[in-house]
Structures are given as C-alpha cells and as structure tokens.
C-alpha cells in the first residue's frame, strides 16, 4: 500500500458490523417513512417540481415564491419534473 492509499491518521474507518447493527436499528424507521411516503418520492422539493421556475424562483402553479420550508420539502401538489411516464 502506498502512502496515497492510506487514510489520513485522524480518519477512523468504521467497523462493518457496527454499521450493520446501526442500519438494522434504523430499518424500522426507514420502513415507516416509506409507508408514509406511499410511493411518493423521498426527494420531493420545489427544486425538482415541474411547477418551479428557477429563473424567478416562483411556483408557476401558485404564482408565488414558496416559503423556505416548502421549497425544502415540497407541497401536496408537487409534480415530479423527472417522472418517467411509463
Ligand atoms: S412543490 Fe408545490 S409549491 Fe413547490 S413548486 Fe411544486 S407545486 Fe409549487
């Protein structure tokens, strides 16, 4: 192993078993979130909504600039700009 391949001394590599344990603890939360999303995208925001105009930063549906909270998480009328129609 060359010095280029070695991690910096302050970087700790996490143990695979610890990562798997942590994941198994998180799994029920992911499953609950998936059930709540009910097939909707987890990455729903105004930035990936068909109605958002990035030039004016306004929602074309409501003709307003959405509040930061809505920009971050989208609203019920979100339409996925990258949706594949089949
Ligand atoms: S997510 Fe809602 S508020 Fe945001 S651009 Fe789309 S329709 Fe407008």
> Which atom of ligand 1 is least distant from the CA of 52?
5
Nearest CA to ligand 1 atom 6: 78
Low-confidence residues of the chain: pLDDT under 50: none
**What was the pLDDT predicted at 59?**
97
Q: For residue 66, what pLDDT is reported? A: 96
Q: Whose CA is nearest to atom 4 of ligand 1?
A: 46
- How far from the centroid of its chain's Cα atoms is residue 12's Cα? 26
At 76, is the secondary structure helix, strand, or coil? coil
The domain segmentation of the chain, as residue ranges, is: 41-86
Cβ-proximal residues to 38 (8 Å cutoff; 6+ apart), any chain: none
Position of tokens 């930061």? 68
Are 60 and 53 contacting, i.e. CB atoms less than 8 angstroms apart?
yes
Is 30's C-beta closer than 6 angstroms to any atom of ligand 1? no
Say what the pLDDT of residue 70 is: 92
- At 37 the pLDDT is 67
Determine the pLDDT at residue 4: 67
Alpha-carbon distance of 38 to 53, in angstroms, equals 27
Nearest atom (ligand 1) to Cα of 49 = 6
Three-class secondary structure of residue 58 per DSSP: strand
Q: What pLDDT is recorded for position 63? A: 97
The atom number, within ligand 1, closest to the CA of 50 reads 6
């Amino acid at each position: 192993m060359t010095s280029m391949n070695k991690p910096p001394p302050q970087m700790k590599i996490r143990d695979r078993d610890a990562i798997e344990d942590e994941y198994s603890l998180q799994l029920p939360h992911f499953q609950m979130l998936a059930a709540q999303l009910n097939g909707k995208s987890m990455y729903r925001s105004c930035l990936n909504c068909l109605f958002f105009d990035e030039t004016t930063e306004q929602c074309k549906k409501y003709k307003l600039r959405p509040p930061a909270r809505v920009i971050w998480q989208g609203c019920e009328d979100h339409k996925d700009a990258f949706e594949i129609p089949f």
